[in-house]
Amino acid sequence: MRTVIIGGTGHVGTYLTPRLVEAGHEVICVSRQQREPYQPHAAWQLVQRVHLDRAAEEQAGVFGQRIRDMQPDIVIDMICFTLDSAKHLVEALRGQVRHFLHCGTIWAHGHSERVPTTEDQPRRPFGEYGIQKAAIEDFLLGEARRGDFPATVLMPGHIVGPGWNILNPQGNFNPQVFSRIARGEELALPNFGLETVHHVHADDVAQAFMGAIMHWSAAVGESFHTVSPQALSLRGYAEAVYAWFGQQPKLAFLPWEEWRKTVSGDEAAATWDHIAHSPNCSIDKARRLIGYQPRYTSLQGVFEAVEWLIARKMIEAG
């Protein structure tokens, strides 16, 4: 298989690109080459790296053709964020690819309603990102189910792994929250701390992409949640982090309007986005149809990332 991965050096690509090489794919990785994968891997020596700026090429109307000219059997699109962008690529690749895999998001669901959320529940996205991702999913699965285009959509949760900042127990990205817990200080959570977050380790996302490729006939025309086996409440997450640092939990609970004044505007906005969604997604379908078996629980993924952040002094472990 000749496989093009668009955006293959990021969180997921760091794991997925080597997995493709190991499985015998001839891999072409498209990016602007502004960054390198988070971890080195010998497989990268066998990857053809192509420098392309998707935004610039799309503006010139030639991005899809550029990808088609690579004569791929499989295209993995890690960085598509608008319906127009998806349509442009599909038109160019129609009749060329045997499998097209899009990286979506659980944000396409909007608010959680019946949990664990299953993929067949109606989409009620909010926020431009989720709305566009839901529209892309709808478009791709519609094309696939009409038999016109062999698309699959993978829907990750909050991606964690060693190498970048991760979603903390307040539902935002301030790494000092971990430092405060490590010192045994009090942490305030919004409401009762019972709203949820749903992490996934980047390597488990990569595993799901491989599973979809290997189970082509079950995967085409379908979307799959790509998350850890269980979501965490903010309270459960915070308590586990206190315990990991050998501290007794010291939690306070404040109504949202009071809590938001205790953090910066950016942190409050990030927390609002996460708790307004409160994702809690089922992986039954992915387990059944594409053999998805996540290696990491939410907390295992989190602690691997936290260890990396401590080693780089981005979290003070005391």
Give the binding range for ligand NAP (CB under 6 A) out of 52-60, 140-148, 190-198, 233-241.
52-60
Map tokens 């080459």 to a residue. Answer: 33
What are 50's strand-pairing partners? 30
Interacting residue with ligand NAP among 25, 99, 109, 158 (CB under 6 A): 158
Tell whether residue 166 is a contact of ligand NAP (CB under 6 A). no
Tell me the pairing of strands 223-226 and 48-51: unpaired
Interacting residue with ligand NAP among 1, 41, 46, 53 (CB under 6 A): 53
273 contacts 206 by C-beta, under 8 angstroms = no
Give the binding range for ligand NAP (CB under 6 A) out of 29-37, 141-149, 184-192, 212-220.
29-37
Tell whether residue 171 is a contact of ligand NAP (CB under 6 A). no
- Residue 240: CB minimum distance to ligand NAP, A: 19
Residues 166, 167, 168, 174: what is their CA dihedral angle, to the nearest 10 degrees? 70
Tell whether residue 13 is a contact of ligand NAP (CB under 6 A). yes
Map tokens 């942490």 to a residue. Answer: 187
Element (H, E) at 254: strand 251-254
2 contacts 72 by C-beta, under 8 angstroms = yes
Nearest Cα residue to 169 out of 65, 66, 303, 77: 303
Give the binding range for ligand NAP (CB under 6 A) out of 7-15, 87-95, 228-236, 282-290.
7-15
Interacting residue with ligand NAP among 103, 206, 234, 270 (CB under 6 A): 103
Tell whether residue 52 is a contact of ligand NAP (CB under 6 A). yes
Interacting residue with ligand NAP among 23, 32, 186, 262 (CB under 6 A): 32
- Residue 57: CB minimum distance to ligand NAP, A: 8
Tell whether residue 130 is a contact of ligand NAP (CB under 6 A). no
For 58-87, b where at least 16 C-beta lie within 10 A, e where not — what string?
Answer: beeeebbebbbebebebbbbbebeebebbb
Tell whether residue 105 is a contact of ligand NAP (CB under 6 A). yes
Could you list the residues that contact ligand NAP (CB under 6 A)? 7-13, 31-35, 52-55, 78-79, 103, 105, 156, 158-159
